[in-house]
Structure 1
């Protein structure tokens, strides 16, 4: 039975009606610069515009890309083709580095050297040791380095994170996530050349969120498989599965990236006091239900992953700067999510379970 009012179910679950899951609202709204005006950048700028943030400069090697996005979202912003010129503007305090991974390390280093706070596009780095070096550099420079794990601020994932953090589910012992969708939109793009497209570029959101859903458990091994789907026309295998064994929990991830009809996205989180589920036809439309011994509660969620997720990451970074605290998307923490991702790819390559952190570089 689904009960409409939280006050009619147990006291612990009733807290769910008051959970803060929307993106934070810091007073700190500094000038922001964006480096990298590829396909994902429009979602960043749309979110920043919608949340009233202050983007004053955009930069890309191709001036026409930067100009098109500037004119569309922040007409008063400056356009640069050299990121050094952007960093020369001392009014810019925060930089969003939204390029592909290969050039990103050098760009982040330059931003940190100039003592700018940085939001890095995900996946953060291709090498965990390089990522640690960037985190250490940020610490030495006294600035924040965060990663745009925007899935954390998708309304359903943000709500589940808040419920777990508040103890509303008790101690969580299992998380099972499955995504059945059509990823062939990458046809003709650079993404089509990434062998582990699903496990690397896409599943990093799920490797990251599963850590949030099982915060007291330590991952011990990862086993993953990939396979081609009959009829697929692009190079990357479009089916993948992952089993993560924790010291006190388990998790499974399932990806079917050639689901042409009846697409579904589902999440199940089991705790010793309550169980949470989230489901919907896609990442934008999700319904959450929390069930305990007294009944069930389904909140009305506001917002969507696009653009709340992208706005949420920048707002979280600004909130962390304002409060002088680590961001929940701090780059050092994100290395733990990347360790799961790299272990899964190594497992898919070797056919053997892997210990998270033992694979230091993205397997080719």
Structure 2
């Protein structure tokens, strides 16, 4: 067998793990993902704030955080805070970043995805951080799902040859946050962005984008996109397409079949797998199996114990801390993330104008 068994799924950790992290937000994603992952990695959550101070105090006690602030403004002003970890609705991130970059003690900021609810505000966040010399990373945590890391490795090693077709099929029902009722752009910006960004991570930027959508019967507030399908076409003719089915289950009286599956076919091999996230809180690892001409006549099935939620969140913080430590651009940096935001814009333009959109046009509009 001419195949390496090292799939590089573990994040590269910083040499210094005790950067003092100020955590803004105390909901599920902070409490049960960020903070669990950080403690497992040996990182240092130093302080926390929340719009509901009682929740912040409860999470601080549960996760061993010594300092609690009633407001994010107080936390940002604490001269001991070196890193900001933001886990609140993305439509509020700009105001926090605008205040944070004026504080000389803040060296890095980890923002949620999407970086903002529109590309204009996302670009403002990036510019503010660049002008202040603050490292900006985006929590595009699917890039640290173990099956995606392993898939990236086997693609780079050429085990699949030139990619021909990539697909993601999601049958899962998200719980939309209340703030999203104010916006008509729903699934592709807030859930599908995981898949949009992962296609960029695996294959780079496409040339053309085509999107279709219909409203989701589960979702009672007005929205443009509920169930979506979007396809990216690349210069080498590779097609990458995702079907995001947030309907997925007609309700009581019918059986559930919830999953996320993916597949990549190349000239020399094929890989396929599942994402374990829909089983949360059960620890169900994502899976990968591949077959290649480099190891004829078999399926290779690497396995691991780690899971996307919460373990992948070690990687998103680690890449920011390493960037601060080495004065480098984060792996998932704000400037690069503008291109993901531009792809989201291209999907919505395609949907609204009922046509295929050139990605270069959206890049020019966003100024990157």
Q: TM-score range by the shorter chain?
A: 0.7 to 0.9
Kindly indicate whether the alpha-carbon contact (under 8 Å) linking 2:226 and 2:246 is maintained by their aligned counterparts in 1.
yes
2:108 corresponds to 1:120: no
> For residue 253 of structure 1, what is the aligned residue in structure 2?
242
> For residue 5 of structure 1, what is the aligned residue in structure 2?
none
Q: TM-score, normalised by structure 1?
A: 0.86
For residues 211-226 of structure 1, the aligned pairs below 5 Å read: 211-215=200-204, 218-226=205-213
Q: Deviation string for 1:76-132 (max 9, x for gaps)?
A: 2x1113333223322211101222122211211222222421000110123434433
2:215 corresponds to 1:228: yes
* Residue of 31, 34, 37 corresponding to 2:23: 34
Q: Deviation string for 1:122-166 (max 9, x for gaps)?
A: 101234344334333333333310000011111111221232234
> For residue 130 of structure 2, what is the aligned residue in structure 1?
139
Kindly indicate whether the alpha-carbon contact (under 8 Å) linking 1:224 and 1:347 is maintained by their aligned counterparts in 2.
yes
Kindly indicate whether the alpha-carbon contact (under 8 Å) linking 2:276 and 2:308 is maintained by their aligned counterparts in 1.
no
**Ranges in structure 2 where 5+ consecutive residues have no aligned partner:** 250-255, 279-283
> For residue 163 of structure 1, what is the aligned residue in structure 2?
154
Say how many residue pairs are matched.
Answer: 343
**Ranges in structure 1 where 5+ consecutive residues have no aligned partner:** 1-8
Shift of residue 192 of structure 1? Answer: 5.3
Equivalents in 1 of 2:46, 2:277: separation in Å? 33
> For residue 40 of structure 2, what is the aligned residue in structure 1?
50
- Select between 118-127 and 262-271 the one with higher mean Cα deviation: 262-271
Equivalents in 2 of 1:178, 1:46: separation in Å? 28
> For residue 192 of structure 2, what is the aligned residue in structure 1?
203
> For residue 259 of structure 2, what is the aligned residue in structure 1?
264
* Residue of 8, 12, 23 corresponding to 2:11: 23
- Select between 129-138 and 142-151 the one with higher mean Cα deviation: 129-138
- Select between 276-285 and 37-46 the one with higher mean Cα deviation: 276-285
Kindly indicate whether the alpha-carbon contact (under 8 Å) linking 2:110 and 2:136 is maintained by their aligned counterparts in 1.
yes
* Residue of 157, 167, 183 corresponding to 1:176: 167
Kindly indicate whether the alpha-carbon contact (under 8 Å) linking 1:340 and 1:356 is maintained by their aligned counterparts in 2.
yes
Equivalents in 1 of 2:6, 2:270: separation in Å? 18
Shift of residue 339 of structure 1? Answer: 1.1
Corresponding residue SS for 2:329 = coil
> For residue 281 of structure 2, what is the aligned residue in structure 1?
none
> For residue 59 of structure 1, what is the aligned residue in structure 2?
49
> For residue 288 of structure 1, what is the aligned residue in structure 2?
288
> For residue 355 of structure 1, what is the aligned residue in structure 2?
358
Kindly indicate whether the alpha-carbon contact (under 8 Å) linking 1:223 and 1:354 is maintained by their aligned counterparts in 2.
yes
Equivalents in 2 of 1:257, 1:192: separation in Å? 16
Equivalents in 2 of 1:325, 1:233: separation in Å? 42
Equivalents in 1 of 2:135, 2:211: separation in Å? 33
Kindly indicate whether the alpha-carbon contact (under 8 Å) linking 2:286 and 2:308 is maintained by their aligned counterparts in 1.
no
* Residue of 139, 144, 148 corresponding to 1:148: 139
Equivalents in 2 of 1:310, 1:298: separation in Å? 24
2:230 corresponds to 1:239: no
2:263 corresponds to 1:276: no
- Select between 145-154 and 303-312 the one with higher mean Cα deviation: 303-312
Kindly indicate whether the alpha-carbon contact (under 8 Å) linking 1:19 and 1:159 is maintained by their aligned counterparts in 2.
yes
Q: Deviation string for 1:168-212 (max 9, x for gaps)?
A: 4333343211111223x33x8344555332211001110000012
Shift of residue 282 of structure 1? Answer: 5.0
Corresponding residue SS for 1:90 = coil
Question: Structure 1 residues 18, 257: closer, same or farther in 2, change over 3 A?
Answer: same
Q: Deviation string for 1:315-353 (max 9, x for gaps)?
A: 121122223322211111111111111211222223222
Kindly indicate whether the alpha-carbon contact (under 8 Å) linking 2:277 and 2:309 is maintained by their aligned counterparts in 1.
no
Tell me the C-alpha RMSD between the 2 structures.
2.3
Kindly indicate whether the alpha-carbon contact (under 8 Å) linking 2:269 and 2:290 is maintained by their aligned counterparts in 1.
yes
